[in-house]
Chain A
Amino acid sequence: MKRVKIIKEDLKTIFEALAQRYRTIGPKLVHGTVVMAESSFEDIPAGYEDRQGPGSYRLEKKETEEIFSFSPGADSFKKYLCPSSVTSFSFQKSAKGFVVDVPEREGMPLAFIGSRACDLAALSLLDQVFLDGPVRDQGYEGRRKSIFIVSVNCNHPSENCFCDAMGTGPYAKEGFDLCITEIRNWLLVEAGSVEGEKVLEILPHREIDAGDLDEKRIVIARCREMIKKSMKTEDLPGVIYRNLEHPRWTEIAGKDLECGNCTMVCPTCFCNSSYDVLSLRTVSSNLRDFSGVRRRTWDSCFSKNFARVHGGNFRPSRRARYRHWMTHKLAYWIEQFGSPGCVGCGRCITWCPVGIDITHELEELRRVR
Chain B
Amino acid sequence: MYDRSIPFGATIKWMKKETRDTWTYALRINDREIKKSYCFQPGQFNMLSLPGIGEAAISISSHAADHDLLHTLKVAGDVTTAISKMRAGDVIGVRGPFGRGWPMEEADNKNVIIIAGGVGIAPLRSVMRHLAARHRDRSGKVMIYYGAKTPKDIVYRDEFPRYRDMFSVFLAVDKADPEEYWKGEVGLVTRLLAKTSFDPLGTTVFICGPEVMMRATISDLLIRGVPGEKIYLSMERHMNCGMGICGHCFFGPKFVCKDGPVFRYADIADFLGLREV
Residues of B within 8 A of A278 (CB): 52
Q: Does B6 contact A (CB under 8 A)?
A: yes
Residues of B within 8 A of A308 (CB): 238
B270 touches A98 (CB 8 A): no
| Interfacial residues of chain A within 305-320, with CB under 8 A of chain B in the complex | 306-311, 314-317, 319-320
Chain B positions within 8 Å of A22 at CB level = none
Chain B residues near A282: list those with CB within 8 A.
52
**B5 pairs with A138, CB closer than 8 A:** yes
Q: Is A280 an interface residue (CB 8 A)?
A: no
Query: Which one, A66-74, A126-134, A179-187, is touching chain B?
Result: A126-134
Count residues on chain B whose CB falls below 8 Å from chain A CBs.
40
CA distance A275 to B248 in the complex (A): 13
In the assembled complex, 12 residue pairs joining A and B whose CB atoms fall closer than 8 Å, in A order, are A98-B9, A102-B6, A273-B240, A273-B246, A275-B54, A292-B51, A292-B52, A301-B247, A314-B277, A320-B277, A327-B277, A332-B250
With both beta carbons as reference points, the residue of chain A lying nearest to B276 in the complex is identified as: A320
Chain A positions 100 through 112: 1 when the CB is less than 8 Å from some CB of chain B, otherwise 0: 1010000000000
The answer, yes or no, to whether B244 is at the interface (CB within 8 Å) is: yes
Contact flags B1-30 to A (C-beta < 8 A → 1, else 0): 001111111010000000000000000001
Which residues on the B side are within 8 Å of A327 (C-beta)? Answer: 277
Q: Would A309 and B238 count as touching, CB distance under 8 A? A: yes
Q: How far is the CA of A299 from the CA of B236 in the complex (A)?
A: 20
Q: Is the CB of A309 within 8 A of B236?
A: yes
Majority-rule SS of B interface residues = loop
Contacts known (A98-B91, A129-B245, A135-B4); A274 close to B240, Cβ less than 8 A: yes
- The reply to whether A307 and B4 contact each other, CB–CB distance below 8 Å, is no
Q: How many angstroms between the C-alpha atoms of A302 and B7 in the bound complex?
A: 29
B243 on the A face (CB < 8 A): yes
Interface string of B91-106 (1 = CB under 8 A from A): 1010000100000000
| Chain A residues whose C-beta falls within 8 Å of the C-beta of B55 in the assembled complex | 274
Bound together, the chains give a CA A152 to CA B52 distance in angstroms of 45
Most buried by B among A134, A275, A290, A299: A134
Stretch from B165-173, B221-229, B252-260 forming part of the interface with A: B252-260
* A96 on the B face (CB < 8 A): yes
Instruction: List residues of chain A with CB within 8 A of the CB of B51.
Output: 91, 93, 98, 276, 290, 292
